[in-house]
């Protein structure tokens, strides 16, 4: 998975369902959907519900046919076009992994690694037989802790094996100098999705906290504690995490880069931690003991320091023991641990009714752990060079449309326009896969050692991140694997990234006309470009530095227009009693709106150059209508109420219905295509617009 914590400002197209890392289907032949059994189309006229007025609810007009064909599977908390493609493509990844898992002399080094990891993941008999014993050396380390003086070294080790206890440490680009990689310390240590789960006072949140304590209780019992001890320890965990949560930034506050920019040096930072030896921590974590660093949340680190001074060592050990178990309670542990973890995080919090098949979980695990090793095989089979060129051509066309759009803005001054275009023209376009593949030669994967493999993968990735500190930034690096169905913009590297897996039906196809492809994939390309100029991305200059390049007047005009969208989304009630957070979703909402507008402008240019007859009909729709329908149909999604609640409270992306209707309501051009009247629901009386 990409470095979301280390790079809190990484901005992705974002999937509204729970899985973010979603591999895609190959383009070589038409795909059959698991539920409907029909070919995946970018524009699919069979999904349109003509009993719905498009000017009343365009999402339902475009998607009701898909909903009828695709009931929500019991093992999904949300199921949409992205999941449709994800599930289909996992079959291809499964085939790759099953072939790699068969021991033979012709396997490459990477095939041995991904194949043996998949094999042990699927071998539940061995995993269950080994039980928790492979994790016992780590449990013994925690049990041997005698005083707080020994915590820094222990925590340094635990962080290298992926245990999110207390805080986190990695590398990141310097906010002030994007060419420099420095040490980065950030808040962590919570078992619930984010800090407000610990602080909200509504009945549902109170209930979820009780359910979380019960979950910790059950997991500790599975690890061998008595019922009474586990119950007491679960209360300790909740108390420590609540204390940490209360001094953590909210997810909305984390979206403001300046809230995370607190440069210092390692020596000065260490002096502030009067109850924690940073030198001992760094020695065990192999982290730098000197040099510039960023303390992302000083208030949090101060509270961590205070907590060590007044918390009994046995309580600290309890907290560490829980986070160790929590970090490994997946396919590497006996099924009883994984089932209980699924029960709380997928069923209780998000409403899933059935756990996904083992092969699906193991396929996702390998993609998550060794995505470029798996992706290299995937690309060779399913992403020919001509596909990459088509993707690049569309990206360039959208960039050209944005350049023209900046020229036409009536609210931005000439000087700021010049700087905006300078930033746009330096955007690096990355499509498909890395130019240089990641080297896994130092990673040891053992066929029968599931927990050990996970430890070594995490140590490998942790060491790889820390090795970047003090070296030049590698702007060719990817934070998503090639099969992923998603995309992202990196403001500190000023590049857009479109993995190979995304440029496939139902999002892009050479069998469709430009109207459909630009309405769907074109809007995604525009979305990522717009992220460079949303409320967060606009704060970084063309070199990726956190630098104010706006005039005060232009900044105020931007903020006034952005506030229009904040209020618009604040008014949306996702589930009874829970409204969307307009501030949290602002960047994605701006990118959705700006991206679709840029795709529209780019498509109009192509259509005019090709002398497209705008009155011509195909499958009952004109070219411009197909553009809008293709946009809407990419978001057809069934979502459980529990997941909608979680999404509204934690996700920077609005639910898919609002990523459709709310965006289109702001575009008069859409209303004209369907002859909507001023008082229709799909026409905003006060449309919001920045780009």
**For range 586-602, the mean pLDDT:** 98
If asked whether residues 273 and 172 sit together in one domain, one would say: yes
Share the mean pLDDT of the chain: 93
Is residue 575 included in any domain, yes or no?
yes
Retrieve residue 641's tokens.
Answer: 């109420």
Residues 326 and 373 in one domain: no
pLDDT at res. 129: 97
Domain that residue 273 falls in: 135-332
Inside any domain, residue 460: no
Provide Rg for the chain, Cα atoms: 25
Give phi and psi for 58, each to the nearest 5.
-70, -30
Which of 332, 363, 395 terminates a domain? The answer is 332
Residue 401 has pLDDT above 60, yes or no: yes
Strand partners, 23: 484
**CA-to-CA distance for 683 and 265, rounded, in angstroms?**
53
Select from 302, 332, 362 the last residue of a domain.
332
- Matching residue, tokens 């970090």: 327
Q: Please tell me the distance from the alpha carbon of residue 111 to that of residue 91, in angstroms, as a whole number.
A: 17
Closest by Cα among 489, 555, 492, 477 to 526: 489
Which domain CATH number covers 637?
A: 3.40.390.10
Residue 385: band (very low, low, confident or very high) from pLDDT cuts 50, 70, 90: confident
pLDDT digits (tens, 9 = 90+) for 617-670: 999 999 999 999 999 999 999 999 999 999 999 999 999 999 999 999 999 999
3-state secondary structure of 339: helix
Is there a single domain that holds both residue 577 and residue 652?
Answer: yes
120 burial class (0-12, 13-18, 19+ CB within 10 angstroms)? buried
Indicate the pLDDT class of residue 38, thresholds 50, 70 and 90. Answer: low
Q: Cβ distance 15 to 485 under 8 Å?
A: yes
332, 362, 391 — which closes off a domain? 332
How far, in Å, CA of 507 to CA of 515, rounded? Answer: 12
Buried b (16+ CB within 10 A) or exposed e, 480-493: bbbbbbbbbbbbbb
189 inside domain = yes
Per-residue pLDDT reduced to its tens digit, 217-236:
999 999 999 999 999 999 99
121 plus 145 within the same structural domain: no
What sections of 409-449 are H helices per DSSP? 414-425
Residues 236 and 306 in one domain: yes
DSSP codes of every residue in 100-118: HHS--TT--HHHHHHHHHH
Note whether 153 and 209 are same-domain residues. yes
- List the CATH number of the domain containing 185: 1.10.1380.10
State residue 12's pLDDT score: 64
The answer to whether position 65 is within a domain reads no
Has residue 544 been placed in a domain? yes
468 in any annotated domain: no
Average pLDDT for residues 365-391, to the nearest whole number?
92
Q: Are 633 and 47 in contact, with CB atoms under 8 Å apart?
A: yes
Q: Are residues 549 and 515 in the same domain?
A: yes
Bigger pLDDT: 1 or 172?
172
Is 97 in the same domain as 194? Answer: no
pLDDT digits (tens, 9 = 90+) for 437-483: 999 999 999 999 999 999 999 999 999 999 999 999 999 999 999 99
Tell whether 533 and 654 lie within a shared domain. yes
Q: For residues 685 and 614, state if they share a domain.
A: yes
**pLDDT mean over 673-690:** 96
Percentage of residues in the chain having pLDDT higher than 90: 91
Share of the chain above pLDDT 70, in %: 95
Does the pLDDT value for residue 5 go beyond 80? no
Q: Which range, of 4-8, 22-26, 238-242, averages the lowest pLDDT?
A: 22-26
Determine the Cα–Cα distance for residues 60 and 7; give it in Å rounded to an integer.
36
Each residue's pLDDT tens digit, 170-200: 999 999 999 999 999 999 999 999 999 999 9
- How many distinct structural domains can be found in the chain? 2
| Of 111-120, 193-202, 502-511, 594-603, the least confident | 502-511
Q: Which helix (H) or strand (E) holds 286?
A: none
Distances (CA, A) of 28 to 384, 498, 500: 10, 19, 13
- Are 182 and 302 found together in one domain? yes
pTM above 0.85, yes or no: yes
- 513-545 per-position pLDDT tens digit: 999 999 999 999 999 999 999 999 999 999 999
- Give the Cβ contact number of residue 51 at 10 Å: 8
464 in any annotated domain? no
Cα(468)–Cα(305) distance, rounded to whole angstroms?
27
Judged against a pLDDT cut of 60, whether residue 34 lies above it is answered with: no
Could you read off the pLDDT of 7-30 as tens digits, one per residue?
445 666 654 433 322 222 222 222
Q: Which two tokens stand for residue 422?
A: 């300078």
Instruction: Please state, in angstroms and rounded to a whole number, the distance separating the CA atoms of residues 251 and 587.
Output: 13
* DSSP-based three-state secondary structure for 266: helix
Average pLDDT over residues 199-208: 97
Is there a domain that residue 38 lies in? Answer: no
* Same domain, residue pair 114 and 188: no
Q: How confident is the model at residue 344 (pLDDT cuts 50, 70, 90)?
A: very high
| pLDDT tens digits for range 124-138 | 999 999 999 999 999
d(CA 116, CA 100): 8
């Amino acid at each position: 998975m990409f470095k979301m914590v280390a790079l809190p400002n990484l901005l992705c197209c974002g999937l509204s369902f729970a899985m973010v890392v979603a591999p895609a289907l190959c383009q070589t032949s038409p795909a059959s959907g698991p539920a409907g059994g029909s070919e995946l189309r970018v524009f699919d006229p069979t999904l349109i519900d003509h009993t719905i007025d498009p000017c009343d609810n365009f999402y339902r007009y475009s998607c009701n046919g898909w909903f009828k064909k695709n009931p929500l599977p019991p093992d999904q908390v949300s199921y949409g076009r992205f999941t449709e493609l994800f599930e289909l493509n996992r079959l291809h990844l499964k085939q790759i992994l099953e072939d790699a898992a068969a021991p033979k002399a012709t396997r490459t080094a990477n095939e041995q690694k991904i194949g043996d990891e998949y094999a042990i993941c699927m071998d539940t008999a061995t995993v269950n037989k080994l039980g928790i014993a492979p994790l016992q050396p780590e449990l013994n380390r925690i049990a041997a802790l005698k005083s707080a003086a020994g915590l820094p070294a222990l925590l340094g080790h635990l962080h290298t094996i992926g245990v999110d206890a207390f805080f986190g440490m990695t590398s990141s680009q310097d906010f002030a100098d994007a060419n420099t990689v420095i040490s980065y310390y950030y808040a962590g240590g919570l078992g619930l999705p984010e800090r407000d789960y610990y602080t909200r006072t509504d009945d549902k949140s109170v209930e979820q906290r009780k359910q979380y304590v019960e979950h910790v209780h059950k997991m500790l019992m599975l690890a061998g504690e008595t019922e009474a001890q586990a119950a007491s320890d679960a209360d300790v965990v909740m108390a420590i995490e609540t204390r940490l949560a209360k001094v953590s930034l909210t997810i909305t506050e984390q979206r403001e880069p300046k809230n995370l920019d607190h440069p210092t040096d390692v020596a000065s930072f260490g002096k502030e931690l009067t109850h924690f030896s940073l030198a001992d921590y760094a020695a065990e974590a192999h982290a730098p003991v000197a040099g510039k660093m960023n303390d992302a949340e000083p208030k949090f680190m101060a509270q961590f320091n205070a907590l060590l001074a007044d918390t009994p060592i046995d309580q600290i050990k309890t907290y560490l023991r829980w986070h160790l178990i929590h970090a490994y309670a997946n396919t590497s542990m006996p099924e009883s641990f994984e089932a209980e973890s699924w029960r709380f995080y997928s069923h209780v919090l998000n409403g899933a009714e059935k756990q996904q098949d083992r092969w699906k979980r193991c396929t996702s695990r390998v993609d998550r752990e060794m995505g470029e090793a798996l992706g290299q095989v995937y690309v060779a089979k399913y992403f020919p060079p001509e596909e990459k060129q088509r993707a690049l051509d569309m990206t360039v066309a959208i960039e050209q449309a944005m350049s023209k759009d900046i020229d036409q803005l009536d609210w931005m001054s000439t000087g700021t326009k010049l700087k905006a275009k300078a930033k746009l023209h330096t955007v690096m376009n990355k499509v498909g896969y890395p130019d240089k593949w990641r080297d896994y030669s130092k990673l040891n994967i053992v066929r029968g050692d599931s927990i050990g493999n996970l430890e070594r993968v995490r140590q490998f990735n942790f060491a790889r991140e820390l090795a970047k500190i003090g070296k030049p930034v590698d702007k060719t690096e990817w934070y998503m694997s090639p099969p992923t169905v998603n995309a992202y913009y990196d403001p500190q590297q000023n590049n857009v990234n479109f993995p190979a897996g995304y440029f496939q039906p139902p999002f892009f196809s050479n069998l469709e006309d430009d109207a459909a492809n630009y309405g769907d994939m074109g809007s995604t390309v525009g979305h990522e470009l717009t992220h460079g100029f949303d409320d967060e991305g606009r704060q970084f200059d063309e070199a990726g530095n956190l630098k104010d390049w706006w005039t005060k007047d232009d900044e105020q005009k931007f903020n006034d227009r952005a506030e229009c969208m904040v209020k618009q989304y604040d008014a949306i009630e996702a589930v009874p009693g829970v409204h969307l957070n307009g501030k949290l979703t602002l960047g994605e909402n701006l990118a959705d709106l700006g991206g679709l507008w840029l795709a529209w402008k780019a498509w109009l240019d192509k259509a005019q150059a090709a002398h497209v007859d705008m009155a011509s009909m195909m499958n009952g729709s004109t070219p411009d209508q197909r553009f809008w329908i293709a946009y809407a149909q990419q978001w057809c999604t069934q979502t459980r109420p529990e997941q909608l609640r979680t999404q509204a409270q934690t996700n920077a992306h609005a639910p898919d219905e609002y990523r459709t209707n709310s965006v289109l309501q702001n575009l008069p051009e859409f209303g004209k295509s369907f002859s909507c009247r001023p008082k229709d629901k799909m026409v905003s009386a006060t449309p919001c617009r920045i780009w």
